[in-house]
Structure 1
Amino acid sequence: METIVRWLKLVLPFVKLNSDGSVGSNIARMGGIILNFNGDVIIAYASSLNHCKVIYAEMRGLSYGLDLCYKLNITNVAIEVDALSLILLLKKDIMCYSDFFYIMRKIKSLLSGLNFILGHIFCEGNTCADFLAKKGCLINGMEEFTGINLPPQLRGLVRLDKLGIPYIRSM
């Protein structure tokens, strides 16, 4: 069975934050992108991480993106992540993983000051954030990108999303 997945534009005053995290055999990384209502890049980011659980990498990607929203004075944010487990953890009032207490507290604190929508998107529709998370393994520390220094492949993925080009998800 196949499903069509696409990145959807927003209406003012919202911006969209897509984030992602991934873990390989001996490396972890995260990334994300913040786009305006028209799909233009405000800022993107990528970083390598110490080896960790994938849910923690997802949390780090979201946390950094939320920090950027505060630094840029963005208060209306539609958040999309491809980790349904992260969404479920954020909606619960209990903390099941003590290892994640501090980062979950930080994320919830950042969210409390925002007008936000939190949603799930399949990884096929989260291609820009996925690209950035994978790029994180090639970076020492954190790297931020704007329209001026966007990697060419990311620029192409952003353009495809802006055009509404669908991705096919095979199940």
Structure 2
Amino acid sequence: MEKIVRWVKPVFPFVKMNSDGSVGSNMAGMGGIIRNFKGDVLIAFAGPLHHCKVIFAEMMGLSYGLELCYKMGFNNVAIEIDALSLIHLIRKNTMSDPEFFYNIRKIKCLLDGLNFSLNHIFREGNACADFLAKKGSQINGVEEFSNTSLPQQLRGLVRLNKLDIPYIRSI
């Protein structure tokens, strides 16, 4: 069985931030991308992490992306991540995992200052952030990209999203 998955442009005055984390056998990274209502890239980022749990990599991508929103003055933010477990951790009012207490508290504090929505998107619809998280696991330091400095493969993924080309997810 198959499901159609799309990345949908945000509605003005919102920007959309997609973030992700990636963990391999001996490397980890985080990444994300912030786009406007036309689907144009405002900024993207990728960075390495020490080997960690996937949920931690996801948290780091979200946290870095939220910090960029503050830095760039984006107050209306539609957030999409492919880690449903992270959404549950953020929405819970109790903290069951002391290992991530400070990370979740930081994310909640960053969210408090925003007009935001936080939604799950399947990995296929999060392809740009997924690409950046994998790239982050292969570089030495955090890199930020403007619309004109995007890696070629990412430029293609952004174009597919802007054209509303769907992804097919096998379920």
Tell me which interval the TM-score lies in, with the shorter structure as reference length: over 0.9
Give the partner amino acid of 1:27: M
Deviation at 1:102, TM superposition (A): 1.1
Aligned: 1:46 with 2:46: yes
1:108-119 to structure 2, matched below 5 A, reads 108-119=108-119
1:24-43 to structure 2, matched below 5 A, reads 24-43=24-43
Runs of 4+ in 1 over 6 A off after TM superposition: none
TM-score (norm 2): 0.99
Deviation at 1:108, TM superposition (A): 0.3
Deviation at 1:28, TM superposition (A): 1.1
- Secondary structure of 1:17's counterpart equals strand
- Secondary structure of 1:148's counterpart equals helix
Give the partner amino acid of 1:113: G
2:62 alignment counterpart: 62
Which ranges in structure 2 are unaligned for 5 or more consecutive residues? Answer: none
TM-score (norm 1): 0.99
1:136-155 to structure 2, matched below 5 A, reads 136-155=136-155
Which ranges in structure 1 are unaligned for 5 or more consecutive residues? Answer: none
Counterpart Cα distance in 2 of 1:63 and 1:137: 17
Deviation at 1:149, TM superposition (A): 1.0
Deviation at 1:112, TM superposition (A): 0.2
Counterpart Cα distance in 1 of 2:117 and 2:49: 27
> Given that residues 29 and 138 in structure 2 are in contact (C-alpha distance below 8 angstroms), is that contact kept between their aligned partners in structure 1?
no
Deviation per CA, 1:77-99: give whole Å up to 9, x if none.
00000000000111001111111
Counterpart Cα distance in 1 of 2:100 and 2:14: 28
Counterpart Cα distance in 2 of 1:96 and 1:47: 28
Aligned: 1:23 with 2:23: yes
1:103 alignment counterpart: 103
1:84 alignment counterpart: 84
* Pairwise CA RMSD: 0.6
> Given that residues 19 and 33 in structure 2 are in contact (C-alpha distance below 8 angstroms), is that contact kept between their aligned partners in structure 1?
yes
Name the % identity: 71
Counterpart Cα distance in 2 of 1:33 and 1:168: 21
> Given that residues 33 and 41 in structure 2 are in contact (C-alpha distance below 8 angstroms), is that contact kept between their aligned partners in structure 1?
yes
Counterpart Cα distance in 1 of 2:6 and 2:112: 28
Give the partner amino acid of 2:107: I
Deviation per CA, 1:17-74: give whole Å up to 9, x if none.
0000011111111100000011000000001100111000000000000000000010
Counterpart Cα distance in 1 of 2:40 and 2:51: 32
